[in-house]
């Protein structure tokens, strides 16, 4: 038996790269694809982008994205192209298929992180860094929704990794690294616009400056091929969309959603303080946050110690070993992204996702040193104890959540399971510290997040629909069953889940604009189109006599579906 075990162990060691890929693939499936279609598209950006993709898929217009029958000129089309291609391949437009491209981008980022880190410092470092990125909360949450930011994160990260590989590869392969960097940067532009150039260029410039490789940028073999590749990918769509919409596209795409977002966000309501992303990163990098804080403190102590010993800055930031290259470049990578988005006037939580890969690499170095060489033990122990206490407190708070707020029926079982999972694994982590089982301690953190992910995606996310979205979907189905219907939503923000049920144009009236409603009424009267209006219950009682011509067709807890009286009379007359 012992000999069989030793033979099996030797076999795994000889094929460690293959088994690492298998492990990553398994965890990617469990983290990213399991239950991916178990809950409906959520009424924020997800339903909007899915509606645009479905419109592109049905119309076959690959140049202009359309939302609710109007050109959507805010964003480039790459996510919509891939979504439409996904619909074509799978043969349906289900929620799983809508999310599939986002999940695949997340998988690509995890595997590229593994390959890059493996090239730099070996197998174990690559696997640890990739697993940290995969199991960080913020990365996981947005890998499960139809959103631009994960695709943008993936392509920007690939562009930066590609170029930084020149620090670890043979001379004859460097040109290929540069060319792939240009290709991924071009795709990042097609994903989210000009920022797909700005972030990679800033990060690469400062990283090469710090590693004394800045002259690589100007080598003709790199840019004489790289720039044409970049233009070949980016120019065709930009030229076609400009031909189709001219000044309107320039205003919406360039002026408003590029320059105005960065310099003046007052008009779009996204102005936030400079340190807006600090608490987001603190929560979003869990369960690795305290390890990252400990690693930063350790790094600062080393810098201070070396500075006191040498009185020089230069030796501190030397990059004569692969360890130092990783630490310096990933630190610069993170700081550039963090400062860029912190300086930007417009701030939303998903922007900072781009900072997660370098954080995962820096934290991966810390855990790699601990697991492989027994380094950083004191910092890991302290950070683990703090993390365990936080999870136990969170579990106890979750167990008593029902005493403070009203929870949907049926959530109690999953709440209790998640609380037990957090507490049990936290106790296992403490046992690992006592027994000095370093690898199992790392895996405990991974499984802590895995359990939470499986529980949340299997049931909890579905409860989001109970706060009104399910009613909107029901109302949309009711109106869809009536031929030639016109639907209006009155005095609340656009809810694009309606468009994912009935693709016909919906009139979204965001305020008490009775004049606009009157025009819709006149139009439907001429077209003999049945008119339905959805209103929020809490505001409906404040509406004046202008709604006396409507009666209730269906009433929910949050919304009410109204139908114009003339259409009821027509039905009865028929």
Report pLDDT digits (tens) over 521-560.
888 888 788 889 989 888 776 666 777 888 888 888 889 8
Three-class secondary structure of residue 71 per DSSP: strand
CA-based radius of gyration for the chain: 27
For 460-470, write each residue's pLDDT tens digit. Answer: 666 666 677 88
Q: Name the β-bridge partners of 535.
A: 490, 560
pTM: 0.89
- Contact in structure between 358 and 337 (CB atoms under 8 Å): yes
Residue 215 has a CB neighbour count (10 Å cut-off) of 8
Q: What pLDDT band is residue 271 in, cutting at 50, 70 and 90?
A: low
- Contact in structure between 400 and 165 (CB atoms under 8 Å): no
Per-residue pLDDT, averaged over 231-256, amounts to 87
Per-residue pLDDT, averaged over 103-118, amounts to 96
Q: What is the mean pLDDT of the chain?
A: 83
Per-residue pLDDT, averaged over 358-387, amounts to 88
Query: Does pLDDT of 115 surpass 90?
Result: yes
Per-residue pLDDT, averaged over 26-36, amounts to 91
The per-residue pLDDT for 311 is 55
When mean pLDDT is compared across 142-151, 165-174, 240-249, 298-307, the lowest value belongs to: 298-307
* Rounded Cα–Cα distance for residues 421 and 18 (Å): 31
The per-residue pLDDT for 395 is 63
All structural domains of the chain with their residue ranges: 24-373, 377-464, 468-573
Q: What pLDDT band is residue 109 in, cutting at 50, 70 and 90?
A: very high
When mean pLDDT is compared across 79-88, 114-123, 224-233, 443-452, the lowest value belongs to: 443-452
Q: What pLDDT band is residue 187 in, cutting at 50, 70 and 90?
A: very high
Q: What pLDDT band is residue 301 in, cutting at 50, 70 and 90?
A: confident
When mean pLDDT is compared across 360-374, 397-411, 506-520, 553-567, the lowest value belongs to: 397-411
Q: What pLDDT band is residue 391 in, cutting at 50, 70 and 90?
A: confident
- Taking each helix axis from N to C end, the angle separating 377-399 and 356-373, rounded to the nearest 10 degrees, works out to 120
Q: Which of 538, 542, 472 is nearest to 502 (CA)?
A: 472
* Rounded Cα–Cα distance for residues 438 and 83 (Å): 41
Q: Which of 63, 77, 75 is nearest to 244 (CA)?
A: 63
Per-residue pLDDT, averaged over 42-52, amounts to 87
Per-residue pLDDT, averaged over 42-55, amounts to 88
The per-residue pLDDT for 404 is 42
Query: Does pLDDT of 291 surpass 50?
Result: yes
Query: Does pLDDT of 573 surpass 50?
Result: no
The per-residue pLDDT for 402 is 46
For 442-501, write each residue's pLDDT tens digit. Answer: 888 888 788 777 777 766 666 666 677 888 888 989 888 888 888 998 888 888 888 888
Q: What pLDDT band is residue 390 in, cutting at 50, 70 and 90?
A: confident
Query: Does pLDDT of 273 surpass 80?
Result: no
Q: What pLDDT band is residue 421 in, cutting at 50, 70 and 90?
A: low
* Rounded Cα–Cα distance for residues 362 and 365 (Å): 5
When mean pLDDT is compared across 26-30, 97-101, 231-235, 467-471, the lowest value belongs to: 467-471
The per-residue pLDDT for 557 is 85
**What percent of the chain has pLDDT above 90?**
34
**Reading across the β-sheet that carries 531-536, which strands appear in turn?**
506-509, 486-490, 531-536, 559-564, 550-555
Cα angle, residue 341 at apex, residues 303 and 201 outer, rounded to 5°: 75
The per-residue pLDDT for 372 is 87
Query: Does pLDDT of 413 surpass 80?
Result: no
The per-residue pLDDT for 119 is 93
Q: Name the β-bridge partners of 377.
A: none
The per-residue pLDDT for 403 is 43
Between residues 484 and 200, the one the model is more confident about: 200
* Rounded Cα–Cα distance for residues 39 and 409 (Å): 17
The per-residue pLDDT for 416 is 63
């Amino acid at each position: 038996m012992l000999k069989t075990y030793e033979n099996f162990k030797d076999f795994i060691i000889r094929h460690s790269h293959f088994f690492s890929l298998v492990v990553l693939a398994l965890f990617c499936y469990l983290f990213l694809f399991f239950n991916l279609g178990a809950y409906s598209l959520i009424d924020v950006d997800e339903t909007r982008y899915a509606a645009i993709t479905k419109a592109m898929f049905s119309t076959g217009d690959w140049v202009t994205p359309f939302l609710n029958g109007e050109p959507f000129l805010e964003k480039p089309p790459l996510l919509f192209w891939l979504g439409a291609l996904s619909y074509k391949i799978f043969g349906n437009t289900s929620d799983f298929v809508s999310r599939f491209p986002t999940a695949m981008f997340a998988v690509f980022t995890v595997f590229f992180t593994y390959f890059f880190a493996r090239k730099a410092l070996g197998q174990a470092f690559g696997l640890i860094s990739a697993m940290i990125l995969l199991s960080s909360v913020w990365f996981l949450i947005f890998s499960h929704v139809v959103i631009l930011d994960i695709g943008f994160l993936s392509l920007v990260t690939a562009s930066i990794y590609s170029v930084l590989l020149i620090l670890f590869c043979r001379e004859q392969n460097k040109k290929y690294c540069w060319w792939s960097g240009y290709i991924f940067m071009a795709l990042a532009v097609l994903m989210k616009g000009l920022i797909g150039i700005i972030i990679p260029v800033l990060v690469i410039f400062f990283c090469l400056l710090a590693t004394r490789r800045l002259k690589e940028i100007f080598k003709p073999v790199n840019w004489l091929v790289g720039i044409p590749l970049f233009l070949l990918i980016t120019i065709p769509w930009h030229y076609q969309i400009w031909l189709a919409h001219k000044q309107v596209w320039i205003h919406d795409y360039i002026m408003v959603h590029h320059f105005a977002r960065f310099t003046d966000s007052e008009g779009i309501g996204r102005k936030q303080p400079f340190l807006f992303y600090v608490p987001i990163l603190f929560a979003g990098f869990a369960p690795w946050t305290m390890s990252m804080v400990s690693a930063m403190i350790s790094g600062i102590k080393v810098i201070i110690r070396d500075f006191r010993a040498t009185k020089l800055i230069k030796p501190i930031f030397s990059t004569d070993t692969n360890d130092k290259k990783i630490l310096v470049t990933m630190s610069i990578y993170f700081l550039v992204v963090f400062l860029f988005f912190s300086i930007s006037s417009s701030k939303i939580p998903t922007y900072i996702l781009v900072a997660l890969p370098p954080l995962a690499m820096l934290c991966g170095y810390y855990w790699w040193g601990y697991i492989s060489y027994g380094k950083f033990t004191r910092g890991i122990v302290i950070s683990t104890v703090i993390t365990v206490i936080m999870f136990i407190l969170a579990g106890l708070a979750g167990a008593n959540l029902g005493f403070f707020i009203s929870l949907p029926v049926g959530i109690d079982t999953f709440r209790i399971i998640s609380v037990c999972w957090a507490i049990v694994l936290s106790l296992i982590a403490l046992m690992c510290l006592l027994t000095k089982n370093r690898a199992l301690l790392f895996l405990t953190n991974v499984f802590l997040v895995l359990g939470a992910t499986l529980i949340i995606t299997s049931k909890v996310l579905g409860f989001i629909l109970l706060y009104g979205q399910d009613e909107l979907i029901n109302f949309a189905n009711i109106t869809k069953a009536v031929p030639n219907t016109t639907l209006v939503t009155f005095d609340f923000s656009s809810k694009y889940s309606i468009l994912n049920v009935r693709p016909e144009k919906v009139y979204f009236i965001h305020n008490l604009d009775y004049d606009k409603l009157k025009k819709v009424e006149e139009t439907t009267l001429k077209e003999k189109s049945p008119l339905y209006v959805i209103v929020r219950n809490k505001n409906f009682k404040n509406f004046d006599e202008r709604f006396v011509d409507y009666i209730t067709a269906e009433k929910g807890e949050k919304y009410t579906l109204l139908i114009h009286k003339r259409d009821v009379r027509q039905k009865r007359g028929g």
